[in-house]
Amino acid sequence: MQGRAFGRRIVLAGLAAPLLPGVAAAQEFPSRPVRAVVGFAPGGGVDLAARVVTRRMGEALRQSVVVENRPGAGSTLAAAAVARADADGYTLMVGETGMLIAPALYREVRYDPVASFAPVGRIAIAPLGLAVPAGLGVTDLRAAIARAQAAPRPWRYATPGVGTVQHLVGEMLRGTAPMPLEHVPYRGGAPAVTAAIAGEIELVIASLPSLLPAVAAGALRLLAVTTATRLESVPEVPAVAEVLPGFDAAPGIFLVAPAGTPAPVLGTLNAALGAATTDAEVKRALLAAGLIAATPVDAAAMAREIAAETAKWTAVARASGARLE
């Protein structure tokens, strides 16, 4: 009798004990609005992706997800602020590939792309294109590489600036082709494309939305896209990997939380993000902005992907010798 009574007391005590913090957090989450921080001003591709996706996430979570723009220093200020935030799932970062590269470029970055964050999942891919002035008479990437290799001086390639993903794609191309190239940075994608149209440079690496109007007008020829395979939006344009096997350099947009965020909370956020990126209306809105909705993966797979991408881009950035203040 005494043993049975003792056993009942243990069971009752267990039922009365509070839930573990992570379990309790997941059961309550989200009980108030969630902030999604964007490290750029309103109106750009990352901001648009954030607003389209978080609107649908909010519906799945039955709670508002509010986008907060905190531009500055290539999104590093926003990333550092999110890294320091409470690890409760209520402050998130809409990151992109540049955020992973930044520690290799800036002298002081107050976060580690891998250790400071708990990945939630993918949002979108932002394909880049390689284009040449139509007057150059080059019709495909293989011919461009041959022409550049035979040229008396390196081909000049235009990008939106030093340390951008476009710049580093050029460095990858230089080493992989190999292709003699000289980087000519501009202050943004539009001036870089304008320089190519004017024939001031031989190659421009830019986002597809910035290239396609000039391609349609016959001023530029789009040689290749930097994704691993061809895109449904421009199926006639080959991937660089068709000429240079293994080449894959498409910037990504993703969602992370501060390191230490409970796994159940990450799971809730991941499910809501997956509901958003597989939504037909969200896909159409992203595609209209030149973005491709990413295939959902779980938080653990996203962590592995961010670690691999950080290692890849850091190596390219360091090899380039690029530094930013």
Domain extents in the chain: 17-22+33-125+251-320, 128-242
pLDDT band per the 50, 70, 90 thresholds, residue 21: low
pLDDT band per the 50, 70, 90 thresholds, residue 6: very low
Whether residue 147 has pLDDT greater than 50? yes
Q: Which residue has the higher pLDDT, 12 or 83?
A: 83
Which whole number is the average pLDDT over 260-266?
A: 98
- Cβ-in-10-Å burial (0-12, 13-18, 19+) of 12 comes to exposed
Q: Over the chain, what is the mean pLDDT?
A: 93
Q: Which residue has the higher pLDDT, 8 or 151?
A: 151
Which whole number is the average pLDDT over 91-96?
A: 98
Domain 128-242 has CATH 3.40.190.10: yes
Burial of 27-58, coded b for 16+ CB within 10 Å and e otherwise, reads: eebbeeebbbbbbbeeeebbbbbbbbbbbbbb
Whether residue 96 has pLDDT greater than 60? yes
Class level of CATH domain 17-22+33-125+251-320: alpha beta
pLDDT of residue 31: 98
pLDDT of residue 11: 44
**pLDDT tens across 120-136, in order?**
999 999 999 999 999 99
pLDDT of residue 13: 44
Domains 17-22+33-125+251-320 and 128-242 share a fold: yes
Whether residue 46 has pLDDT greater than 90? yes
Whether residue 10 has pLDDT greater than 50? no
pLDDT band per the 50, 70, 90 thresholds, residue 9: very low
Looking at the chain, list the stretches that DSSP marks H as alpha helix, in order from N- to C-terminal side: 2-16, 21-28, 45-61, 76-84, 97-101, 141-150, 165-176, 189-197, 208-216, 263-277, 280-288, 299-320
By DSSP bridging, strand 155-159 and strand 203-207 are: parallel
